[in-house]
Structure 1
Amino acid sequence: MLYLSEILIQHHELQNFEELVEMIKQQSQLGERFFRIDVRPSFPDTPENWEDRLEAAFY
């Protein structure tokens, strides 16, 4: 299972929400079957529909 908190901890180089979306797309192609959103990203450009966007990027 892929946790959003783990991505944020392991990838300090992420500078904005769009980079996070791309990272989740990459991680989903590595064979993870489930994605758990357990924290809210703290980027200044995080949109209101951030959960929907991250789930769409994973699936």
Structure 2
Amino acid sequence: MLWLSEVLLQEHDLDSFDGLCRKIQERAAQGEMFFRIDVKPPFDDTPEDWEDRLEAAFYKPVKR
């Protein structure tokens, strides 16, 4: 299970919400099956619909 707080702690070089979305997509592509949102991302550019966008990023396949 992938926890949002775990991603934020492990990927401390992230500096934007878009970067976080890309990282969530990468983790999903690596085989994570479930995604839990347990904290709000601390970025200035975090949109109001951030939860929906993170879930969409998790279920959207990574384009290579």
TM-score (norm. length: structure 2): 0.91
Instruction: Give the Cα–Cα distance (whole angstroms) in 1 for the partners of residues 18 and 29 of structure 2.
Output: 17
Structure 1, unmatched stretches of 5+, are none
Question: What do you get for the CA RMSD once the two structures are aligned?
Answer: 0.3
Matches within 5 A, 1:25-36: 25-36=25-36
Counterpart check, 1:7 vs 2:7: yes
Q: How many residues align?
A: 59
TM-score (norm. length: structure 1): 0.98
Offset from partner CA, 1:30-55 (integer Å, 9 cap, x none): 11100000000010000000000000
Q: Secondary structure at the match of 1:47?
A: coil
Identical columns (%)? 61
